[in-house]
C-alpha cells in the first residue's frame, strides 16, 4: 500500500499560520483553539481565502491592478487606502487589519467608492497573514503608518517591526520595491530605523544618499493619524527603504 509523502515544512507553516490567524482573530492565543463567545456584528469581516496545503494565497486573486501595494494596519475607515486609490488609479491595494470592525468598515468604504475590484481591507493579523501570501516578488510597495500603538515596556514583544516581519516583506517585495514607514514617536522612529537598516535585504532610499529619512510623504495619500499629527503641529518621522536588486 502506497503512503502519501509528508507535506514540506514550508507548507506546514502556511497551514499553521492560517489556523493561528483564525484562533487569534477569534479571541484565542496562537496555537490554541478559539474561545467560545457570542457572535458580534462584524463576524463576517472579509478574510483571506483559504489555500491548499501546498500553496500560498495569490495576491492577484484578491486584488487586481497594474501593480500591488500593501498596507499593514489601515485602521478605522482605511483613510490612506482611500486616498491612495484616488492618487494611483492603476494600483491594486490590499490592507491587512487585525480589528474586525475596522476591516469591515474600511473594505465597505472602498467598495462604496467603486474600488472593490482593486482595493480591499481584510481582517488578518499581518504577522500570521504575510507568510501565507504570494507569489514572491509581487508587491511594489509596503506601507506601515504609525504602527505599534503600545508604549509600555512589557508590550515590546507585540511590536510588528522585527526580523520575522521584514523577512516576509522582503520576500513579497519586487527587486527595488519600497518599504515606507512613518511614526510620530521619536523613540520608535529610531528603533525602526535601526532594525531595518540592519536587515540585509534593504537599502536606504531617503532624500539624501545613504539615509532612509524623508522630509515629506511622497505618495499623495495620508493616514488619518498623519493628518492629525500635521494639524496638531507634531513632527512626523518618515523613512523609505528599497529591496536590494
Report the catalytic residues. Answer: 148
Place of cell 492577484: 60
Total residues found in the chain within this entry: 245
**Vertex 27: Cα angle to 50 and 71 (nearest 5):** 55
DSSP 112-161: HTT-TTTEEEEE--HHHHGGGEE-TT-EEEEEEES-----SGGGGGG-S-
Beta bridge partners of 242: 178, 203
C-alpha cell at 218: 511622497
The Cα-based distances of 156 to 66, 151, 188, 191 in angstroms read: 37, 8, 11, 11
Distance in angstroms (rounded) separating the CA atoms of residues 87 and 220: 6
115 alpha-carbon distance from chain centroid: 19
| Helix residue ranges, H only, the chain | 9-25, 79-87, 100-112, 126-129, 163-172, 186-197, 224-231
Amino acid at each position: 500500500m502506497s503512503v502519501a509523502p509528508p507535506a514540506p515544512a514550508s507548507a506546514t507553516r502556511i497551514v499553521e499560520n492560517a489556523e493561528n490567524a483564525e484562533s487569534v482573530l477569534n479571541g484565542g492565543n496562537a496555537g490554541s483553539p478559539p474561545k467560545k463567545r457570542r457572535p458580534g456584528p462584524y463576524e463576517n469581516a472579509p478574510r483571506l481565502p483559504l489555500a491548499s496545503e501546498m500553496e500560498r494565497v495569490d495576491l492577484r486573486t484578491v486584488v487586481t491592478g497594474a501593480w500591488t501595494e500593501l498596507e499593514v494596519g489601515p485602521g478605522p475607515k482605511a483613510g490612506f487606502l482611500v486616498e491612495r486609490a484616488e492618487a494611483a488609479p492603476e494600483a491594486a491595494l490590499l490592507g491587512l487589519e487585525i480589528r474586525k470592525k475596522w476591516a469591515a468598515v474600511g473594505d465597505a468604504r472602498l467598495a462604496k467608492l467603486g474600488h472593490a475590484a482593486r482595493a480591499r481591507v481584510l481582517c488578518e493579523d499581518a504577522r500570521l497573514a504575510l507568510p501565507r501570501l504570494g507569489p514572491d516578488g509581487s508587491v511594489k510597495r509596503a506601507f506601515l503608518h504609525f504602527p505599534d500603538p503600545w508604549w509600555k515596556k512589557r508590550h515590546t514583544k507585540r511590536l510588528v517591526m522585527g526580523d520575522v516581519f521584514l523577512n516576509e516583506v522582503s520576500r513579497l517585495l519586487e527587486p527595488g520595491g519600497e518599504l515606507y514607514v512613518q511614526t510620530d514617536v521619536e523613540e520608535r522612529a529610531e528603533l525602526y530605523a535601526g532594525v531595518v537598516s540592519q536587515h540585509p535585504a534593504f537599502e536606504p532610499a531617503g532624500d539624501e544618499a545613504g539615509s532612509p529619512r524623508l522630509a515629506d510623504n511622497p505618495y499623495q495619500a495620508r493616514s488619518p493619524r498623519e493628518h492629525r499629527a500635521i494639524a496638531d503641529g507634531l513632527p512626523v518621522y518618515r523613512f523609505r527603504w528599497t529591496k536590494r536588486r
